Structure 1
Amino acid sequence: MISAQTIKGSIDELGAITKVELCVMDLNGDIVASTTEREMLDISIITSFAQSPVDSQVIGDVHLFKILDEGEPAYVLLAKGDSEHAYMVGKIGVSQLQNLIVAYKERFDRNNFFQNLLLDNMLLIDVYNRARKLKVEVNVPRVIILVEVKHSNDNTAQELLGSMYAPHTGDYVTAVDENSVILIKSLAKSQTYEEVQKIATTIVDMMNTEAMLDVRVSYGTIVDELKDLSKSYKEAKMALEVGRIFYAEKKVNAYNTLGIGRLIYQLPESLCRIFIDEIFGGKEVPDDLDEETLNTINKFFENNLNVSETSRQLFVHRNTLVYRIEKLEKSSGLDVRKFDDALTFKIALMVIGYMKYLENR
């Protein structure tokens, strides 16, 4: 239901413009919002009017109007002032408040609809029926963009995202938990993942510059039908978690670019332990290596196993780099200058990172 604060803001603005005293009461005669502290009519008159079949009535210089919600009385509006002027202002107030009620109900219903849709809490026939009622197009390309907020009690992210992507453009913002905000982004048929990546990057930049929020963003695959949005949502959730484990340096992660990280994420912990034991046996595992060695190896991988380029970027002599690589070979049994060993070592690093994540969780 529409909030008392919203109602007060609406009648305060109307009262200030027209100089007519306005008061909105519930059907029990309790004041919801008023532009004056004076009591206009006795409560018994209000409750009697609320139960009567008429939609408006005048008592002295006070005009009474019913504010309807789907044909049923929801509130009573009182307008006090010059007869014709007060009547006209009262009718405007009723129209304004009834439109607000409709808008707020639509917003609530849409929010509820998308939450249930994303969580797979709806039958297929209900999806199409409710979509038709809420005027949500069914066959439009859409993608789920998930924004993880560091501080869960902060609503700034949802408000900012809502101002960036409004429902009239076919975009909807909702949330199903306290830690993230969901953007259901409507796309043109010609838009690609490259453009979705740009949208996600823009969201990160806007959150950082406009609200000073540290956020992580992920997105699922583009779906052509409304009923498949839950699939895109699950993919976006996985992309967010996989990104947190394996690609912590990236602020935006896409489900279709997770690569080997997605594969490892779906492995059982027991299989991961078997893999690590098989590769290293009783030798030193990468998790036990010093930070200097790990940084050296990561830079070596970034430069496609190029010794000369890696030594240049690390500002070390080529022989120093070779010494570190050979030292790693002695401790782990893997020569990362060879492609197969480098691939094994890289996967091992990711598997160990995943196992640490499971332990901490």
Structure 2
Amino acid sequence: MKELNTFLNELENRSGIEFEISTEDGSLIYKSNSYVESHSNVYYPLNLGYDRFVLRLDKSFKACVKLLMYSIENKYNEICSRRYKNIQKLLEEEDLEQNKILNNMFVGSPVLFIVRLNSNVYDGLNIVNQMYTSSDIITMVYKSDIIIIGDFEDVYDHAVSMREAIISNLFCKCVVSFSEISKDNFNLKQAYDNAIEALVLFRRFSLKEEVIDYNKLFLERMAYYMDNNLKKKIMYKFKDKFDELDSEMLNTIDEFVKNGLNISNTAKRLFIHRNTLIYRIDKLKKETGFDIKNFKEAAVFVISFLIWKENK
């Protein structure tokens, strides 16, 4: 953290104390220019937020250790508090200049996660912080949800791992939604609103997938924002047909759509032979008139199906 390093340099110059701070695995965080490793050095554990570090200095400065550690910890907490307040402000309103400052923290295109659970949110935050100790990853509680912002190579895999870690430790229900933040047009509020919308759609349409990528909810968004009069017409036309479908067929439809209309993948997920799946799809065509192996018909069917689920 650049601001903390600047403070540590000023602290060294003003106090005359030469010291070194590193992570527990030895990665250097800060080192005084004149600090030298020797047998006369002493070591102290230093806790900054959820991260643990090691403070090294000559034993001749031993009497100053408590004051030195207090100064560092206090400054770190001050920086974090100001940082979280700025982020909270960006989640609530657009601020071009602050968005630019935050954007500079990230190398690639960052992602905003929202973690929603039916357990103590701070217990969940503690688990998340154990997974991500880098200062370049922002974690915080906002409006009873956990917010995570950072650069991740495998976004979906991170979301799945995060959810599984929380569930296995807290034995609770947990849903994770996420939205990418464009580097070219960095807008934290837009990403947050998108991730919140994904959670709304998850609940509204009783989606089974509990790790939700906003960008993959195109049809759900179309159904959600469709004109109410058109929704009523669709319900009038298809409600009776959907009402007659049994739970096995409904589950088959959900999996087929979730797997991008791929017969082989859907059959594997349902633990059935592909011929069994084809039989069910043909049966659905006879009962509803829709051939969901055809993309155009599948798109119309899915939107109609979502509207039916919304009104169940």
Q: Is this contact kept in 2: 1:145–1:184, CA < 8 A? A: yes
Q: 1:349 to 1:109 in 2, by over 3 A?
A: same
1:184 is matched with which residue?
149
The partner residue of 1:146 within 114, 123, 130 is 114
What are the Cα deviations for residues 197-255 of structure 1, in whole angstroms up to 9, with x where unaligned?
A: 12112212222234434311121124216842222222222223323444722121112
Q: How far did residue 336 of structure 1 move?
A: 4.3
Q: How far did residue 324 of structure 1 move?
A: 5.7
The 3-state SS of whatever aligns with 2:143 is coil
Q: Is this contact kept in 1: 2:249–2:280, CA < 8 A? A: no
1:173 is matched with which residue?
139
Q: 1:343 to 1:144 in 2, by over 3 A?
A: closer
In 1, the alpha carbon distance for the partners of 2:97 and 2:281 equals 65
1:116 aligns with 2:89: yes
Q: 1:162 to 1:298 in 2, by over 3 A?
A: closer
| Percentage of matched positions with identical amino acids | 21
Q: How far did residue 171 of structure 1 move?
A: 0.6
1:83-122 to 2 correspondences below 5 Å: 89=63, 91-120=64-93
2:131 is matched with which residue?
164
1:284 is matched with which residue?
240
Q: How far did residue 305 of structure 1 move?
A: 8.1
The 3-state SS of whatever aligns with 1:250 is coil
Q: Is this contact kept in 2: 1:117–1:127, CA < 8 A? A: yes
The 3-state SS of whatever aligns with 1:156 is helix
Tell me which amino acid in the other structure corresponds to 2:141. Answer: A
Q: Is this contact kept in 2: 1:145–1:183, CA < 8 A? A: yes
What are the Cα deviations for residues 144-202 of structure 1, in whole angstroms up to 9, with x where unaligned?
A: 01111123x4411111112222352x111012211x21101135xxx4xxx11121122
Q: Is this contact kept in 2: 1:118–1:233, CA < 8 A? A: yes
Q: How far did residue 335 of structure 1 move?
A: 5.0
1:224 aligns with 2:191: no
Q: Is this contact kept in 2: 1:305–1:337, CA < 8 A? A: no
Q: Is this contact kept in 1: 2:112–2:192, CA < 8 A? A: yes
Q: 1:138 to 1:228 in 2, by over 3 A?
A: farther
The partner residue of 2:301 within 345, 349, 357 is 345
The partner residue of 2:210 within 251, 262, 283 is 251
1:269 aligns with 2:228: yes
The 3-state SS of whatever aligns with 1:103 is helix
Tell me which amino acid in the other structure corresponds to 2:240. Answer: E
Q: Is this contact kept in 2: 1:272–1:355, CA < 8 A? A: no
1:1-361 to 2 correspondences below 5 Å: 89=63, 91-120=64-93, 123-125=95-97, 131=101, 137-138=104-105, 140-141=107-108, 142-151=110-119, 153-168=120-135, 170-178=136-144, 180-187=145-152, 191=153, 195-224=154-183, 227-246=186-205, 248-277=207-236, 279-280=237-238, 284-287=240-243, 289-291=245-247, 294-295=250-251, 313=272, 325=284, 328-329=287-288, 334=289, 336=291, 339=294, 343-356=299-312
Q: Which has the larger radius of gyration?
A: 1
Q: How far did residue 88 of structure 1 move?
A: 6.4
The 3-state SS of whatever aligns with 1:175 is strand
Q: Is this contact kept in 1: 2:181–2:187, CA < 8 A? A: no
Q: Is this contact kept in 2: 1:157–1:207, CA < 8 A? A: yes
Q: How far did residue 337 of structure 1 move?
A: 7.3
Q: Is this contact kept in 1: 2:219–2:299, CA < 8 A? A: no
Structure 1 runs not aligned, ≥5 long: 1-86, 357-361
1:33 is matched with which residue?
none
Q: Is this contact kept in 1: 2:111–2:180, CA < 8 A? A: yes
Structure 2 runs not aligned, ≥5 long: 1-60
**Structural RMSD (CA):** 4.1
- Matched residues, number: 245
Q: How far did residue 256 of structure 1 move?
A: 1.8
Q: Is this contact kept in 2: 1:174–1:183, CA < 8 A? A: yes
Q: How far did residue 350 of structure 1 move?
A: 0.8
The 3-state SS of whatever aligns with 2:180 is coil
The 3-state SS of whatever aligns with 1:216 is strand
In 1, the alpha carbon distance for the partners of 2:210 and 2:281 equals 33
Q: 1:325 to 1:140 in 2, by over 3 A?
A: closer
Which structure's relative contact order is higher, taking Cα pairs within 8 Å and 6+ residues apart? 2
Q: How far did residue 269 of structure 1 move?
A: 3.4
Q: How far did residue 297 of structure 1 move?
A: 5.7
Tell me which amino acid in the other structure corresponds to 1:162. Answer: N
Q: 1:297 to 1:96 in 2, by over 3 A?
A: closer
